[in-house]
Amino acid sequence: ATIQDRAQFDSAYSHHANMMRRSVTGNGNDLEGQSYDYIIVGGGLAGLTVASRLSEVSNVTVAVIEAGGDVYGADQNKFLVPTGNLYDSAVKTQYDWQWQTSSQAGANGRNLDWPRGKVLGGSSAINGLYLVRSNKAEHDSLASLISAPDIWGWDNIFRAMKKSETFVPPTGRVRNVLPDLRYNEASHGSSGPIHHSWPGAAFPTTNDFLQSMANTGTPISDDAYGGSSSGAFVATSAINPQDNWHRSFARNGYLDPAQNRPNLHVLTGHQVTRVLLDSSDPANIRATGVQYAASRGADVKTVNANREVIVSGGSVNTPQILQLSGIGNQQHLASIGVDTVIDLPGVGENLNDHVVTSVAWAPQGNVEMPAQAVTGNAVADSYVNAATGYTTMNTLLGNYTAELVQQARAQMAQADAASDARDEVKRAWNVTREAQLQAVFSEGSAIGAIELLWAYVFGSMQVQVALQHPMSRGYVRATSNDPFTAPEINPNVFGVNFDLALMREGLKLARRVGNAQPLSNSLGNENSPGTNVQADNDFETYARNSVGTEYHPSSTSSMLPREDGGVVDANLMVYGTSNLRVVDASILSSPLSCHLMAPLYGAAEVAAEIIVAHAQGRGYTGSAPPRSDNDSAGQTDGAPGATGGPGSNNGNGSGSGNGTSALARPTTYLGALLAVIIASLLL
Ligand SMILES: Cc1cc2nc3c(=O)[nH]c(=O)nc-3n(C[C@H](O)[C@H](O)[C@H](O)COP(=O)(O)OP(=O)(O)OC[C@H]3O[C@@H](n4cnc5c(N)ncnc54)[C@H](O)[C@@H]3O)c2cc1C
């Protein structure tokens, strides 16, 4: 942390204390023995999105159990102030699970840090705020693997991503500094819970980066949000200019506006230790509730589910929870002393992650840069890095592509044959990698294989290089039947040579971008890897020594057919159960070429629509069900057949929050525009 004077800083942000907040409870007894229609495990990005939407239906009851604490407290500025994500970070604090991978052979044996949010809002509370959308072809490909184009294909996900968004155009000042900041309003949403905008502060070298990308083969995109994210652009950030430039995330976007709903209860500071399953009818295994505890050794409490349990613990924790509940590979479960209820070998497997490293320069002379600290000035502190570019295989490699793909196929076939993984797991690898090879790595594909990010970090200027479609697959496996013992995380970094080769070529391109006009005018010495690194081998050694996570793990509860190693079906129901779903990053069956937050808000919106449709006895056809009675328009349709209802339990949500004003309404686009005009006049 680089805050010089904490008291001065907190007083500059004292207005945060007056915000509208949804109250939550930290008292585990409030839920114990109670019954809720829906129990959501994990109050992160997906969990709070689903909780908010389900509780719009007033005659169902919803409980969320979150292992971490609340964001609103002594440390709230860590989460709310955008620049805080770098200079007052929640990473490596109590708000982070602080996972580490197992030793990674592909990264010279290093154990990589794997932060994940452990706080209300989950990783959406601690992340880098980049909002980038995935590509049409990627979603159509994911949907075809589960034969559900109407639900998971681009059209429905695009609609759902817009549903979650309120787009706020950049200020006049930002437009002046960044003449190449381009967007197409038609691709954005105007009345959703999460605000997408640009920071109030901007720097000329960001525009130079776009120009240098164009000059090295990655053209500037006019519309990165309408189905193709390839090209260079300044990404929107999850920032709300109308609310003091705060971070917009699952807590303040989805939960706080639900503050007056008596049918929604949120418990923090308690970890779900397992899902309780009734397997008396093996053809209809039902989740009857969950157990939870404040810590290892603390009392284990139970809360009952009338209708469904929805697991939203994220890509690391969700498979661990399923495994400890008896759902997973029978052999693995036996090895940790867990009785198998459902032998489902895909649980925890098929893990993939974007990995990242960078080329870094010292700034040239007195080039203008953001403050390398949180300052107490809301506009300055809204600055986050956001310029990016998604580069296709053809730009990266030209006609070398086909040869590399052929080599990759041969290498993977050999490695799979030697692996002792279950056949279903091998099929998951195969179908998802083949889908990637066809959609992303085919000649002329418009999907980014590599992301290049422009970053000012701790006084250095960097072009970061992140692999978007790794072929390597790893796993998450519980190592003990104790839920408070860390699982083994093995992302198998650079397990397939193809991934290393692309990273190497990405690093070369990053150097070319930095050496190209006009960006080169602002860059001094190349500090890393350093100009002595020229040969392929040296680039690869540098990549192995420096690579880390871009924080986008997915696929550990893949939505695939059961025989292809799937864990959930197209309705996100865990195979073999009739009322246990997973909604979080783990359901994506293969990587997406983007930061995951935007598509995950969309996926969680779709999940909530599916669940509401099912509660109403309707099939889900891939569009929003009729509006419900607790939503902002106040229309009613209820959910026939829902059991329980308000008052079916007495967990009354008392506790640490300080809810104040009336139910928030999403701002309209006109309101947004007006606020931005006023803001730019004030600047
Ligand atoms: C440091 C960092 C930077 C990132 N930067 C970006 C970015 O700039 N842009 C972007 O788009 N994405 C970014 N991401 C990724 C993005 O935030 C995640 O992909 C997304 O939040 C995943 O959503 P989720 O719902 O799957 O999991 P999460 O949001 O992580 O939520 C899971 C929740 O479940 C809770 N939980 C887990 N286990 C239990 C249990 N047993 N009992 C109770 N609660 C439990 C966790 O505490 C957590 O709150 C970043 C992530 C990190 C960690």
Name the residue at shortest CA distance from atom 4 of ligand 1: 127
Higher pLDDT among residues 176 and 680, named by residue: 176
Name the residue at shortest CA distance from atom 16 of ligand 1: 597
Contact in structure between 200 and 683 (CB atoms under 8 Å): yes
Take residue 229 and report the two structure tokens written for it: 């994210």
Q: Specify burial of residue 611 (Cβ count, 10 A radius: 0-12, 13-18, 19+).
A: buried
Distance (Å) from CA 132 to ligand 1 centroid: 16
Take residue 312 and report the two structure tokens written for it: 């939203």
pLDDT tens per residue, range 457-470: 888 999 999 999 99
Verify whether ligand 1 is closer than 6 Å to residue 31 (CB atom): no
452 Rama class: left (phi>0) / alpha (psi -120 to 50) / beta: beta
- Phi and psi for 3 in degrees, rounded to 5? -75, 125
Name the residue at shortest CA distance from atom 9 of ligand 1: 130
Distance (Å) from CA 611 to ligand 1 centroid: 22
Nearest-CA neighbor of 351 among 297, 395, 315? 315
pLDDT tens per residue, range 404-417: 889 899 999 999 99
Verify whether ligand 1 is closer than 6 Å to residue 91 (CB atom): yes
pLDDT tens per residue, range 301-345: 999 999 999 999 999 999 999 999 999 999 999 999 999 999 999
Distance (Å) from CA 44 to ligand 1 centroid: 6
Verify whether ligand 1 is closer than 6 Å to residue 271 (CB atom): yes
Residue 4 is predicted with a pLDDT of 42
Verify whether ligand 1 is closer than 6 Å to residue 514 (CB atom): no
- Whether the ω angle into residue 529 lies within 30 degrees of 0, i.e. cis, is yes
- 259 confidence band (pLDDT: 50, 70, 90): confident
Verify whether ligand 1 is closer than 6 Å to residue 599 (CB atom): no
Distance (Å) from CA 124 to ligand 1 centroid: 6
Q: Which of 197-201, 397-401, 583-587 has the lowest average pLDDT?
A: 397-401
Q: Which atom of ligand 1 is nearest to the CA of 292?
A: 42
Verify whether ligand 1 is closer than 6 Å to residue 65 (CB atom): yes
Q: Which atom of ligand 1 is nearest to the CA of 594?
A: 11
Contact in structure between 498 and 407 (CB atoms under 8 Å): yes
Distance (Å) from CA 92 to ligand 1 centroid: 14
Q: Which atom of ligand 1 is nearest to the CA of 317?
A: 38
Name the residue at shortest CA distance from atom 45 of ligand 1: 42
- 10 confidence band (pLDDT: 50, 70, 90): low
- Phi and psi for 377 in degrees, rounded to 5? -100, 120
- Phi and psi for 311 in degrees, rounded to 5? -95, 120
Verify whether ligand 1 is closer than 6 Å to residue 39 (CB atom): no
Instruction: Return the percentage of the chain with pLDDT > 70, whole number.
Output: 88
Name the residue at shortest CA distance from atom 41 of ligand 1: 272
| Distance (Å, whole) CA 327 – CA 341 | 6
Q: Which atom of ligand 1 is nearest to the CA of 117?
A: 30
Contact in structure between 170 and 677 (CB atoms under 8 Å): no
pLDDT tens per residue, range 339-369: 999 999 999 999 999 999 999 999 998 899 9
Q: Which atom of ligand 1 is nearest to the CA of 115?
A: 53
Q: Which atom of ligand 1 is nearest to the CA of 585?
A: 26
Instruction: Return the percentage of the chain with pLDDT > 90, whole number.
Output: 82
Distance (Å) from CA 123 to ligand 1 centroid: 3
Q: Which atom of ligand 1 is nearest to the CA of 128?
A: 8
Mean pLDDT of the 102-123 span: 98
Residue 660 is predicted with a pLDDT of 24
* Mutation probe of ligand 1 site: the residue of 96, 457, 597, 605 with most atoms within 8 A of C-beta: 597
Radius of gyration of the chain (CA): 24
Domain ranges of the chain: 20-103+113-265+350-634+656-682
- 667 confidence band (pLDDT: 50, 70, 90): very low
| DSSP per-residue string spanning 174-203 | HHHH-TT----GGGS-BSSSEEEB--S---
Verify whether ligand 1 is closer than 6 Å to residue 595 (CB atom): yes
Verify whether ligand 1 is closer than 6 Å to residue 45 (CB atom): yes
Distance (Å) from CA 453 to ligand 1 centroid: 21
Verify whether ligand 1 is closer than 6 Å to residue 48 (CB atom): no
Other beta carbons less than 10 A from residue 181's beta carbon: 20
**CATH 3.90.180.10 corresponds to the domain 20-103+113-265+350-634+656-682:** no
Q: In sequence order, what are the residues at sequence separation of 6 or more whose Cβ sits closer than 8 angstroms to the Cβ of residue 45? A: 121, 122, 123, 124, 249, 250, 584, 597, 600, 601, 604
Distance (Å) from CA 638 to ligand 1 centroid: 31
Verify whether ligand 1 is closer than 6 Å to residue 43 (CB atom): yes
Verify whether ligand 1 is closer than 6 Å to residue 320 (CB atom): no
Distance (Å) from CA 90 to ligand 1 centroid: 13
Distance (Å) from CA 128 to ligand 1 centroid: 11
pLDDT tens per residue, range 117-143: 999 999 999 999 999 999 999 999 999
Distance (Å) from CA 555 to ligand 1 centroid: 14
Name the residue at shortest CA distance from atom 46 of ligand 1: 118
Residue 678 is predicted with a pLDDT of 38
Contact in structure between 137 and 594 (CB atoms under 8 Å): no
* Mutation probe of ligand 1 site: the residue of 127, 268, 568 with most atoms within 8 A of C-beta: 127
What is the DSSP-derived secondary structure letter of residue 153? S
417-424 long-range contacts, Cβ below 8 Å, gap at least 24?
421/349, 422/329, 422/345, 422/565, 424/345, 424/346, 424/562, 424/563, 424/564, 424/565
Name the residue at shortest CA distance from atom 48 of ligand 1: 122
Q: In sequence order, what are the residues at sequence separation of 6 or more whose Cβ sits closer than 8 angstroms to the Cβ of residue 531? A: none
Distance (Å) from CA 256 to ligand 1 centroid: 18
Verify whether ligand 1 is closer than 6 Å to residue 127 (CB atom): yes
Mean pLDDT of the 153-174 span: 97
- Whether the ω angle into residue 518 lies within 30 degrees of 0, i.e. cis, is yes
pLDDT tens per residue, range 197-255: 999 999 999 999 999 999 999 999 999 999 999 999 999 999 999 989 999 999 999 99
Q: In sequence order, what are the residues at sequence separation of 6 or more whose Cβ sits closer than 8 angstroms to the Cβ of residue 222? A: 182, 184
Verify whether ligand 1 is closer than 6 Å to residue 600 (CB atom): yes
Verify whether ligand 1 is closer than 6 Å to residue 314 (CB atom): yes
Q: What is the mean pLDDT of the chain?
A: 89
Residue 142 is predicted with a pLDDT of 97
- Which residues are known to be catalytic? 552, 595
Question: Could you give the ipTM of this predicted complex?
Answer: 1.00
Verify whether ligand 1 is closer than 6 Å to residue 560 (CB atom): no
Q: In sequence order, what are the residues at sequence separation of 6 or more whose Cβ sits closer than 8 angstroms to the Cβ of residue 502? A: 396, 449, 450, 467
Verify whether ligand 1 is closer than 6 Å to residue 312 (CB atom): yes
| Distance (Å, whole) CA 534 – CA 507 | 10
Name the residue at shortest CA distance from atom 53 of ligand 1: 116
Verify whether ligand 1 is closer than 6 Å to residue 585 (CB atom): yes
Verify whether ligand 1 is closer than 6 Å to residue 432 (CB atom): no
Distance (Å) from CA 472 to ligand 1 centroid: 22
- For residue 656, is pLDDT > 80? no
- For residue 485, is pLDDT > 60? yes
